[in-house]
A and B are shown apart, each in its own frame.
Chain A
């Protein structure tokens, strides 16, 4: 087992749930309104979604936007910190990698440059 959301029924904060759905590399993933993109991924049993320069798996590390380990592409915007970005129903998420290889099974991959040294310098 791994990370999971505290069930609303036994949550001490007495929260309510409003479902939402995002897609990750085309695959639908269910979450609840208010979660971050990283929260949706972790709660869905995905501990990692990015690969480092060597191809090693990476997930969320600092959780507050300092380490940039959790970068994803959201609705076409590259290099979004998944821990900081709130999930919205219908968000299209693509995972990123830094080893220069392409995503497997990801149609957009050939047009997606590597992060940090992307030719269009999309993020400074």
Chain B
């Protein structure tokens, strides 16, 4: 036993692997997730109350997941904290070593009587995951327009079918499992529309095909999904997307159109389909507020940033490791390998451990897979062509495209902060989680500058992931003193 205290934030594939590896290294682990069940978005299972006798019916790799879940829940050195939100990370004073203090709220989501607790671990593993990125289009705020992830979460996690007649659109291999979930739930999927043309997909997917063999689990999954779609007679079309959703108070029809490789719309190719739901995803946005709060450096360009890690999954913040989609969108196999590496080192494991070379290989293969995904499913530069002047860019504040254009053009030298204050884009309840990358990209284009150019008005750009409160906390909760770390939350299991 190393006796090290490791806190793992996020119980998806990366976090679960990290917890197991840290336990293997001899550490004591606290595994934290906002959800009530282990597994994250990837292993989304029906709630306990459903008493499902065949939960494996909807899961890939169920035996391995069920075994890992048993192992962690039954481990004497593993504490599982469900319904627990990290609302702040408090960095140590300058000169002090170690990871930030972890401020937690335990209890039902957004409730007013949650228990406040503070952890001071020796090591922190962040495995916060990602959410769908959706590019705006006219009518995307209508009820009945869902992210692809929402449709899948509701189908797998609640056994709810989002609509009878559904179109799935966007880009990326995630569209296929989502469509398969919808078909399984009983929806009629009218079409799966991949915005990239077949030639771009083929270039991305067929380059170095031996790399794909390393991700056989992933490829097998895709073959499975494709089989389900063929049986469900779902048309899969490339080079086409949803450019508008219409309806009175809810979506009633969508306009689809053919796209050129740069995603400019081929006028005259528009078609209208009657639907009662649309599911959209253009990739994933990593959930970076906690890494940023911890002081981790990011890599990449604004709008496409990830946590920077070294070969041991260590971030630039002392005592903080990162794994999974926050380090790059690479899918579950890579997330598991990264999680295992991160957990092992965070738990004080020896760098000479025999399993490490294989894990690192698996991680690197996952990263190759991620690079392949990015090549096969790029976001076409001409996508803003389908925006109209009144298309909402920021859903919360209902800032439309024309307002954003005006704000940027009237103050061409202004920083993102100025545009934000003038338009309110990004200042609503979601705190730019949804529109942040899009506003950053559009504002930069409108200014004709690189998105990371130094603003002229002197203030440093507020990073789009900087949220002093990572999750909402009520004033009453803030005013109450925190409970000791071993206190049980009042509403635990309620």
Asked if A107 lies at the interface with its beta carbon under 8 angstroms from chain B, I say no
B52→A68 contact, CB < 8 A:
no
Known: A63-B147, A123-B474, A124-B473. A16 touches B276 (CB 8 A): no
B150→A124 contact, CB < 8 A:
no
Known: A34-B47, A47-B143, A60-B150. A1 touches B434 (CB 8 A): no
Cβ-Cβ contact count across A and B, 8 Å cutoff: 192
Q: Mark A85-123, 1 if CB is under 8 A from B, else 0.
A: 110100000000000000000000000000110001111
Known: A3-B277, A64-B153. A11 touches B159 (CB 8 A): yes
25 contacts between A and B (CB under 8 A): A1-B164, A3-B160, A5-B158, A6-B160, A6-B185, A13-B50, A15-B52, A16-B51, A18-B49, A33-B49, A33-B50, A35-B47, A35-B158, A35-B160, A48-B249, A48-B250, A53-B397, A58-B141, A61-B395, A64-B131, A64-B150, A65-B34, A66-B131, A69-B396, A122-B474
Q: Mark B463-494, 1 if CB is under 8 A from A, else 0.
A: 00000010011110010000000000000001
B54→A116 contact, CB < 8 A:
no
Asked if A29 lies at the interface with its beta carbon under 8 angstroms from chain B, I say no
Known: A16-B50, A68-B428. A123 touches B161 (CB 8 A): no
Pairs A-B, 8 closest by C-beta atoms: A63-B150, A34-B49, A34-B47, A84-B109, A59-B143, A14-B53, A68-B429, A48-B143
Q: Mark A46-82, 1 if CB is under 8 A from B, else 0.
A: 0110001110111111111111110100001101110
List chain A residues, Cβ under 8 A from B475: 120-122, 124
Cβ of B136 to closest chain A Cβ, rounded Å: 12
For window 17-53 of chain B, which residues contact chain A by CB distance below 8 Å?
34, 36, 41, 46-53
Give residues in B with beta carbon < 8 Å to A. 34, 36, 41, 46-55, 57-58, 108-112, 131-132, 141-147, 149-151, 153-154, 158-164, 184-186, 249-250, 276-277, 287, 395-398, 428-430, 433-434, 469, 472-475, 478, 494
Interface of A, secondary structure class, is loop
Cβ-neighbour of A116 out of B47, B57, B149, B429 (below 8 A): B429
B159→A6 contact, CB < 8 A:
yes
Cβ-neighbour of A63 out of B154, B395, B429 (below 8 A): B154
A59→B494 contact, CB < 8 A:
no
Q: How far is the CA of A77 from the CA of B112 in the complex (A)?
A: 7
B158→A52 contact, CB < 8 A:
no
B398→A53 contact, CB < 8 A:
yes
Q: How far is the CA of A16 from the CA of B273 in the complex (A)?
A: 36
Cβ of A50 to closest chain B Cβ, rounded Å: 9
Q: How far is the CA of A81 from the CA of B111 in the complex (A)?
A: 10
Q: Chain A: how many interface residues by the 8 Å CB criterion?
A: 59
Nearest to A115 among chain B residues (CB) is B429
Q: A60-B143, A67-B434 are in contact. List 19 more A-B contacts (CB 8 A).
A: A3-B161, A3-B163, A4-B161, A5-B158, A6-B186, A13-B55, A13-B159, A14-B54, A15-B52, A57-B143, A62-B150, A64-B41, A64-B150, A66-B287, A67-B433, A77-B110, A77-B112, A81-B109, A123-B474
B164→A15 contact, CB < 8 A:
no
Cβ of B203 to closest chain A Cβ, rounded Å: 31
List chain A residues, Cβ under 8 A from B48: 34
List chain A residues, Cβ under 8 A from B185: 6
Cβ of A6 to closest chain B Cβ, rounded Å: 5
Nearest to B35 among chain A residues (CB) is A84
Q: Mark A1-39, 1 if CB is under 8 A from B, else 0.
A: 111111000011111111000000000000011111001
Known: A15-B50, A35-B158, A115-B429. A63 touches B109 (CB 8 A): no
Q: How far is the CA of A42 from the CA of B154 in the complex (A)?
A: 10
Choose among B109, B141, B475 the residue with the greatest number of A CB atoms under 10 Å from its CB.
Answer: B109
List chain A residues, Cβ under 8 A from B160: 3-6, 35, 39, 42-43
List chain A residues, Cβ under 8 A from B52: 13-15
Cβ-neighbour of A34 out of B46, B57, B276, B429 (below 8 A): B46
Cβ-neighbour of A2 out of B163, B473, B494 (below 8 A): B163
B51→A15 contact, CB < 8 A:
yes
